[in-house]
Amino acid sequence: MNNNIYDLIIIGAGPAGMTSAIYAARAGLNVLMLDRGAPGGQMLNTYEIENYTGFEKITGQELSMKMFNHTQSLGVKYSYGDVQGIKDEGKIKLVQTEDNTYQALAVIIATGTINRRLEVPGEDELAGRGVSWCAVCDGAFFRDRDVVVIGGGNSALEEALYLANFCRKVTIIHRRKEFRADLIAQERVNKHPKIDFELDAVVVRFNKVNNKLGSVTVKNVLTGEEKDLLCEGAFIYVGQDPVTSMFKDLIALDERGFIIVNEKLETNVQGIYAAGDVCSKELRQILTATSDGAIAAQNAIKYIDNLKSN
Ligand code: FAD
Ligand code: NAP
């Protein structure tokens, strides 16, 4: 047990968590921010961001670093920690990591989401050997090679465009004809000479050749016909699931596992707030995550002030 009692512990150092930290530190709170990875969250998996106000174009890495430096300039304490759960002891909340227990008056959960898997044969076995969930991390291994991207949302189309900068050919595999992605991304992939489409199609199998990915088998959902697409890389962008399983016995979740919050971003437990993609909400963006971070911190600050003055 760490004997220090923090005012506020923030779980997750993505844009939501880092913004909460900035607001809380500026209000004079003693803040600990925990993350099980590098600060930045999903921004680190994004090549370029074009819709964060004030930045016409910025890489995910650069925006992550700018936000993190901002927290550090205000004295936010940052530690590695894979949080396993929270215990509510009334005035004190216990935040448990694999090897420590931290204490705080209030907690903000900003654990975001994790990329969904397709759950088809070959996916687990070939993960890291051609199958990937991060074009920014692994794309460079496939320079001048053929790759596929699976999904029809903004992530799939934008990361396909990134891969097309240096791969020989990029085939987007999507389970229907219409894309969910913004029109601007659709227009860009449609006119890109290196991007092809396999529509109304799902991946049924990832196939191994020489101990790495050699092809994917796709099935046309209208005709049932199957065929193999030769490729050395496959990038899966079929959405995200919330990272909340470790809170499910304490915190109320919606049917998909996202945290239910009110407009103050309070959860069902007093003194525990949630912010960003982990919340049950409509629009999951960097901008909305930072805005949640500010609101959650502002309400946590009031709650902590109240606790301290009673
Ligand atoms: P996240 O960014 O997911 O951060 C959560 C953090 O919590 C992570 O650092 C994680 O390691 C940490 N964490 C999780 N569990 C634990 C635990 N148990 N213990 C400790 N730490 C934990 N949005 C845009 O606005 N513009 C874009 O161009 C854009 N591009 C995107 C591209 C891709 C490929 C993807 C997947 C998303 C993109 N998004 C974009 C969406 C945007 O990245 C998210 O909306 C935003 O990052 C959410 O921020 P967050 O802080 O809520 O969560
Ligand atoms: P998403 O919007 O949920 O899209 C997931 C895509 O995968 C959908 O096209 C979906 O098909 C498909 N899919 C889901 N499950 C599948 C399965 N089992 N098999 C095959 N296909 C499957 O996810 P995302 O693109 O990762 O985006 C997530 C969030 O981040 C969104 O809120 C998005 O707006 C945000 N984001 C924003 C930007 C940006 O602002 N520029 C960039 C990236 C991400 P259907 O369409 O048929 O359901």
For residue 180, which atom of ligand 2 is closest to its CA?
46
Helix axis angle for 286-309 and 15-26, nearest 10°, is 40
Asked whether residue 123 is assigned to any structural domain, the reply reads: no
Q: How far apart are CA 100 and CA 207, in angstroms?
A: 42
Q: What is the pTM of this model?
A: 0.93
Lookup: tokens for 165: 């900068």
pLDDT, one tens digit per residue, over 153-167 is 999 999 999 999 999
Confidence band (pLDDT; 50, 70, 90) for 310? confident
Residues 101-136 pLDDT 10s:
999 999 999 999 999 999 999 999 999 999 999 998
Q: What is the pLDDT of residue 215?
A: 98
What CATH number is associated with residue 182?
Answer: 3.50.50.60
Among the candidates 206, 236, 266, a domain finishes at: 236
Q: Which domain range does residue 76 map to?
A: 5-115+240-309
Residues 150 and 164 in one domain: yes
Q: Which of 31-35, 134-138, 203-207, 299-303 has the lowest mean pLDDT?
A: 134-138
Q: Is the pLDDT of residue 98 over 80?
A: yes
Coil/strand/helix, residue 286: helix
SS3 assignment, position 183: helix
CB-defined site of ligand 2, < 6 Å: 51, 118, 151-156, 158, 175-176, 180, 202, 237-240, 284-285
In a domain, 299, yes or no: yes
pLDDT at res. 237 = 97
- Taking the C-alpha atoms of residue 175 and residue 177, their distance in angstroms, rounded to an integer, is 7
